[in-house]
Chains A and B, each alone.
Chain A
Amino acid sequence: MMDADRDHTTQLRPPAQVMRLSRLGSLHQCRLSFMRQLTRRMARESWRIACADWRIDASGVGHAVYTVTTPRRSYALVAFAHDLPPDQRSDRVIAEAWDATFALVDGVPDTADIARLAAHVPLQEAGRISERELCLSRANRSVRLWDHVVERLAAGRQPDADQLAEVGYLMRTTAVYGSGKFGAADRVLIEDRPELHPPFQAEMLTVYLIRVFVRDLVEHMARARGGDRAARLDPTAAEALGIGNSTGLGMAPFLVNHPCLLNNWVMAREEAIARVRALGDIAPMDWQMVADLARRMRAGAAAATSRHPLQAERNARLAQDLDRLIAEMAGPPRPWADLLDWSAVVLGEEGQEALASLVVEPYGRLVDGLAHCMSDTLDTGFRIDGTMPLGRVRQLIAEVFGWALDIDWTAEAPTARAWYVSEEKLEPRLGQRHEEPIADYEQPLATARDAALAHSALSDWPEETPVAAFLLRHPEHRVAVRRAQISAFAPYSEIRDNLIGAELMPIDMLRAKLSFFGATDFDPRSDRWVRIRMFAGAPYPETLTPKTADFWVYPGSPP
């Protein structure tokens, strides 16, 4: 490409490219991910984290309290440890018992709070928490790693490095509930606090503290067994461990139900990429930094394991792509736009998105401010403009879902699935529409089909009619019309794929969301259930400083 042709103004990638499920399902964490926003703030504001109470007995039963002191206010994690028989350990949301259960308290809990929480938190969904609480969570041990680590530490030895690396976590959470769930405080009560304004900060803080608790608990259990002989877990080994997480379909509808929020997450990242794309001269130091981080990411990719054939293939391709990238970057610095354009031709989608996240890394000052744009209140506040001529609504639908308008929505394959909620656990599920009796219970998540049906119904009306008149007769198209109007100002609000098609891979939706959280090590266990790690590599409170707060997500330390 000629230099004169290069467009150095910020140019966002088109939604038609970014919002395809296969690409959303290839996203990687980046500077703007919610875990990294949290650790940067914790370090910058010198949050103090302390174990304020530890009442856990030698069998591992009891509770502990971790307090968090921020410049403005305090929070606390109350952790309950249980002694769970192995046959009751299940990561499914339908489980009824866990190895540990947690609540994040707004402020510092007193004895009455602890007693109240002890009666409810271990029951999880069957209990009630109050507006004093921000999150409810639970976790199960990785049985094989837990036993191994306790045994080794009790004997005064360190655990086997290979086993640590293979599992990667001592406990995995199976749900982290916030935002008013099960009686917790509504988000509206906390969203104006700077430290909780970015998305999911209370949930991320909960997981960060769980990870501290889990490390302390495993050492406690080793001491209980080995007494004075017991060793502490080597700090470097502890740091490499994350908190595992099993995520199923419950998370998928969130992205569809919060179109403005999805837009803001994606747009913040796209804007960051575009700003970096627009840079002309690249400082050798910045070039070197991206190359180094790519090497560290490559080391992580080498260690990645997945039993899922598709993911195993993708991991292999990513490793290969990172090798190509590292080789490509051996030359002198050139504009990131060149390298990104090169990647679009040579690398797979995972590799392209890895590079897109990587190139942003040296430019905190240029892009970190975008973090403030990732929250949103419009998803509740937006009102349909019923004065809009319905011809314009049709046009908006066609711009986003043009590809879906010619699909035969009476055929079986494009409508193979239906999203529904089962009466059993009140969790979203995905079923076979033409084989199970679920169509009557369908959730409004079939965005492409519903947009196409609305488009078709709108065609029967004169173009100049205000859409309010149409909606009076066709309330069933209200969701689609609202979404179409949102797309007019939120270009990344819609996933541009058929969410009820036979080919749908729900894990792509999960990965998109989890990557914005900052999760790593995606390991799908089926097409609708994925294991990940959170905070793997993150410094514990005693080593968290502005220097360590950011790049922990890349394995290994800087050369």
Chain B
Amino acid sequence: MSVVLSLGELEATARKAARGAGYAWGVADEAGRAARAMAEIGLDGARLLRELADAVAARPHHSLVPARLDSIWAATEGPLCPIRAGAALCDLARSLPEGGMAVSRVLVPGLFLPFAADAARVRDAPVTLSWRGGIVGIGPEGLPRASGVLKLAEAAEADLFLHPGGTALPAAPHETRARPDPAAWDVLLSLAHRTYAPATEASRLSGAGAGLSDND
């Protein structure tokens, strides 16, 4: 069965799913935004997030971040999480090294794209993201739906290079609905479900605060 969602629904569930997958709330916010940003250009952010959740499930999350924020971002050992590295990229968007930076072994690198676009927006100037076999210029107006973007969204892992400047491709017009892969969506829903407390009779009565008859 096909799933058609508002972008807000996709973002809200992606956020909770990221939390359910073990990310801190503030990082889960970033994951929700990233999934939505991909859906806005017609790519399946839900599928990407599901792949990421699978890829990081067995790894300690603190190992998935750059050891240092200089011109080579790499984990002490193993790959980088695109959400954690992407959030750090945006945090530092105002002061990226002129010569650019390597971002090594990024898991599900398609999810790094929305952060590169946000960095361009914060800088109000293009950034260029390249990897073996692809390059894409991203402007402050948003992600292009370029072949490179589509290709990166299919990769399981990639070594990325990002530098300020370059020539941006035109931003893609935004989709108004998200159409996630139903199986991926189900996985996100079950991850999101981990954030819900099991209902008890006590919570039913006191938690929501009713209990009085409201049938008058």
Contacts and interface: CB of A to CB of B under 8 A. Distances in A.
Interface of A: 86, 89-94, 130-131, 142-144, 179-189, 246, 248-249, 380, 383-387, 420-424, 426-427, 429-431, 436-438, 440-441, 443-444, 466-469, 471-473, 475-482, 506, 525-529
A436 to B, nearest CB: 7
B117 to A, nearest CB: 11
A86 B213 CA distance: 12
A441 B209 contact: no
Contacts of A386: 88, 90-92
A249 B209 contact: yes
B94 A385 contact: yes
21 contacts: A86-B215, A91-B214, A92-B210, A93-B208, A180-B6, A181-B6, A188-B7, A248-B209, A249-B209, A384-B90, A385-B91, A387-B92, A429-B207, A430-B207, A440-B197, A466-B69, A469-B69, A471-B88, A472-B66, A479-B29, A480-B26
Interface of B: 4-9, 23-27, 29, 33, 61-62, 65-66, 69, 84, 87-88, 90-95, 118, 122, 176-177, 193, 195-200, 202-204, 206-212, 214-216
Contact of B197 (A188, A246, A421, A466): A421
Contacts of A179: 8
B197 A422 contact: yes
Given A89-B215, A526-B211, A476 B91 contact: no
B197 A437 contact: yes
Nearest to B93: A383
Nearest to B9: A180
A144 B29 CA distance: 46
Contacts, number: 170
A423 B195 CA distance: 8
B91 A423 contact: no
Given A386-B88, A427-B208, A526-B210, A144 B216 contact: yes
A248 to B, nearest CB: 5
Given A180-B7, A478-B27, A424 B204 contact: yes
A131 B208 contact: no
Nearest to A183: B6
Contacts of A525: 210, 212, 214
B25 A479 contact: yes
A391 to B, nearest CB: 16
Contacts of B206: 431
Contacts of B33: 380
A475 B84 contact: yes
Contacts of B61: 475
A246 B207 CA distance: 16
A421 B206 CA distance: 13
Contacts of B208: 92-94, 248-249, 427, 429, 528-529
Contacts of A436: 200, 202-203
A449 to B, nearest CB: 13
A386 B30 CA distance: 15
Given A144-B216, A184-B6, A441 B29 contact: no
Given A142-B216, A249-B209, A436-B203, A441 B197 contact: yes
Contacts of A86: 215
